[in-house]
Amino acid sequence: MSRVTMIDIYKHPITQKYVRRSGLAHAIRVADIALELARERNVDVDLAVKAGFLHDMGHYLFYKNGKWDFEEYRTNDIHAIKGAERAHKLLIRLGEEPSRAKEVSMAVLLHTDSYLPAANIQRTPLQQVVADADELDEEPSGRHHYRTITEDEAFTRLHSLDERLEQAVAEAMHS
Q: Footprint of Fe ion on this chain (CB under 5 A)?
A: 56, 134
Burial of 175 (0-12, 13-18, 19+ CB in 10 A): exposed
Q: Which of residues 119 and 173 has its CB atom nearest to Fe ion in the complex?
A: 119
Minimum distance of Fe ion from residue 174's CB (angstroms) = 34
Quick one: CA dihedral 142, 144, 147, 152, positive or negative?
Answer: negative
| Smallest distance from Fe ion to CB 95, Å | 26
Of 56 and 103, CB closest to Fe ion: 56
Residue 67: strand, helix, or coil:
strand
Distance of alpha carbon 127 from alpha carbon 84, whole angstroms: 12
Among residues 134, 109, 103, which one has the least CA distance to residue 37?
134
Q: How far is the CB of 134 from Fe ion (least distance, A)?
A: 4
63 or 95: CB nearest Fe ion: 63
Compare residues 134 and 162 and give the one whose CB is closer to Fe ion: 134
Q: How far is the CB of 19 from Fe ion (least distance, A)?
A: 11
Closest CA to 133 of 31, 8, 17: 31
Q: Which is nearer to Fe ion, 88 or 144 (CB)?
A: 144
CB of 138 to Fe ion, least distance (A): 6
Beta strands in the chain, from DSSP E residues, in sequence order? 63-64, 67-68
